[in-house]
Amino acid sequence: MTTRVLHLVGSPTSAFMDDLSRLYAADCLANVGPGWEHVVAHVSPDGSWRFPETLDALADAEPMPIGAGIARLTALDVDVALPQMFCIPGMTHYRSLLDTLGIAYVGNAPDVMALGAHKARAKAVVAAAGVRVPDGEVLARGQEPTLAPPVVVKPVDADNSHGVTLVHDTDDYPAALAAAWEHSDGALVEQFVPLGREVRCGVVVRDGELVPLPLEEYGLGEGRQVRTAEDKIRRADDGTLGLMAKDTPTVWIVPADDPANAAVWEAARACHVALGCRDYSLFDFRIDPDGVPWFLEAGLYNSFARQSVIPTMARAAGIELPELFAAGIAGALAR
The pLDDT tens digits along the chain (335 residues) read 899 999 999 999 999 999 999 999 999 999 999 999 999 999 999 999 999 999 999 999 999 999 999 999 999 999 999 999 999 999 999 999 999 999 999 999 999 999 999 999 999 999 999 999 999 999 999 999 999 999 999 999 987 678 999 999 999 999 999 999 999 999 999 999 998 899 999 999 998 999 999 999 998 655 555 655 454 455 455 555 555 445 456 889 999 999 999 999 999 999 999 999 999 999 999 999 999 999 999 999 999 999 899 999 999 999 999 999 999 999 999 99
User: Cα–Cα distance between 314 and 324 in angstroms, integer?
Assistant: 8
**pLDDT single digits (tens) 70-109:** 999 999 999 999 999 999 999 999 999 999 999 999 999 9
Q: Does domain 115-131+195-300 have CATH number 1.20.1250.20?
A: no
User: Cα–Cα distance between 98 and 80 in angstroms, integer?
Assistant: 10
- Quick one: pLDDT at residue 239? 56
Residue ranges covered by each domain of the chain: 3-107, 115-131+195-300, 136-191
Q: Residues 313, 214: contact at Cβ < 8 Å?
A: yes
- Quick one: pLDDT at residue 196? 86
User: Cα–Cα distance between 70 and 88 in angstroms, integer?
Assistant: 19
Which are the contacts of 70, defined by CB distance < 8 A and separation ≥ 6? 49, 97, 101
Please give the order of strands across the beta sheet that includes 49-50. 49-50, 36-43, 3-10, 80-84
Q: What is the pTM of this model?
A: 0.90
Q: Residues 165, 179: contact at Cβ < 8 Å?
A: yes
| Beta-sheet strands, E only, within the chain | 3-10, 36-43, 49-50, 80-84, 136-140, 151-155, 165-167, 186-191, 197-206, 209-212, 216-218, 233-235, 241-243, 251-253, 280-287, 293-298
- Three-class SS of residue 157? coil
* Record: fold of 136-191: Dna Ligase; domain 1 (3.30.1490)
The CATH number given to 3-107 is 3.40.50.20
Beta strand pairing call for 49-50 and 36-43:
antiparallel
- Three-class SS of residue 54? coil
